[in-house]
Structure 1
């Protein structure tokens, strides 16, 4: 990934944030003919407390044509991306004075590289289903749990899927949110995005530029 220094995030916490906040990853592999395959799968981040190794776990349809390239592969890429937005030059106060501003796009992205295994094991898949469901239902007053569905129905549905585990080997992370711009230009973007109703992106711009009194959504 192309990452100018001002947008580079080397802390694991930033990668972790993107995976947990935006768990729908784009998983990229190549088959034995060199053909690129990509699919979009929600992941759960898991860490082994003993080894410290980090894993992405998920489930995938047994009929998915990507499975062969995910079976014992050492060359897997998963891309996670935040909410994003086009930035109009009109958000920059300086535009009215010099007109020397052009549009850009603000976003954050993490590239996670690792080795994958297909794990066709009932308990592994059920554990993954519980983890991802509990993660996404957390905080809801009427949070749904996997156990609410009839067990017979769950077993039938589960027959169509298999488990996927990716051991994380390396990561790259980019947060492109107006870093390097003058304070008033950054503030103009924060304000403009908020007025457009893009509150989450506005907050990310604020966080990336260390504005006081702000936290990640």
Structure 2
């Protein structure tokens, strides 16, 4: 990842927050026969070094990836277009152009699969609890009949990425003046509140 020092994010808590805020990361793995496999799927970070998720058995990713090589999970949190009209510098000298602000994490590690019912149920339950939290009436895996859940588990395979490297980037206008940063926050607040909030937290 191209990662200039001004944008590099190295704080563990910030890296974990980006991963938790990413709704649909991408898992990329080398295939045994050559080439790359890519799957969009929810992944849950489990401290200190695990990402867990699952795919349908019909998805060839779990069958064809090379477990002897590293896989890569790409997480994107708040992101969005930055208009030059948001910069006070536009009125001062006009030497401004559009850009894109974003926060991302690349998690590298070895991928393994989970097929046994009990640990697979643990993965499904953990993912469900993560995404149901905060709802007025959260749904739980235990709300469904046991035999139905058992049948559903037969159609999926769990994935576990054991993380060996985390690389983060938060490109949030740090290379602009304070006035321009304030202008981007104000502009983004009107059309992309999540990006504005991300910039405020990064200060």
TM-score (norm 2): 0.95
2:44 corresponds in structure 1 to: 44
**1:70/1:34 Cα in 2 relative to 1: closer, same or farther (>3 Å)?**
closer
1:10 corresponds in structure 2 to: 10
Give, in whole Å, the separation in 2 of the partners of 1:132 and 1:95.
45
1:207 corresponds in structure 2 to: 201
Q: Secondary structure at the match of 1:37?
A: strand
Q: String of CA shifts for 1:173-197, please: whole Å, max 9, x gaps.
A: 000000021111001000011122x
Q: How does 1:8-157 map to 2 (within 5 A)?
A: 8-47=8-47, 53-70=48-65, 72-157=67-152
Give, in whole Å, the separation in 2 of the partners of 1:193 and 1:72.
42
Give, in whole Å, the separation in 2 of the partners of 1:137 and 1:76.
28
Q: Secondary structure at the match of 2:70?
A: strand
Instruction: Determine if contact 1:29/1:69 at 8 Å carries over to the other structure.
Output: no
TM-score (norm 1): 0.89
Give, in whole Å, the separation in 2 of the partners of 1:55 and 1:4.
27
Q: Secondary structure at the match of 2:96?
A: coil
Larger relative contact order (Cα-Cα within 8 Å, sequence gap ≥ 6): 2
Instruction: Determine if contact 2:37/2:65 at 8 Å carries over to the other structure.
Output: no
Q: Secondary structure at the match of 2:38?
A: strand
Instruction: Determine if contact 2:51/2:162 at 8 Å carries over to the other structure.
Output: yes
Instruction: Determine if contact 1:23/1:44 at 8 Å carries over to the other structure.
Output: no
Q: String of CA shifts for 1:91-110, please: whole Å, max 9, x gaps.
A: 00110121100000000110
Give, in whole Å, the separation in 1 of the partners of 2:100 and 2:64.
33
Runs of 4+ residues over 2 Å off in structure 1: 68-74
Q: How far off is 1:23 after superposition?
A: 4.4
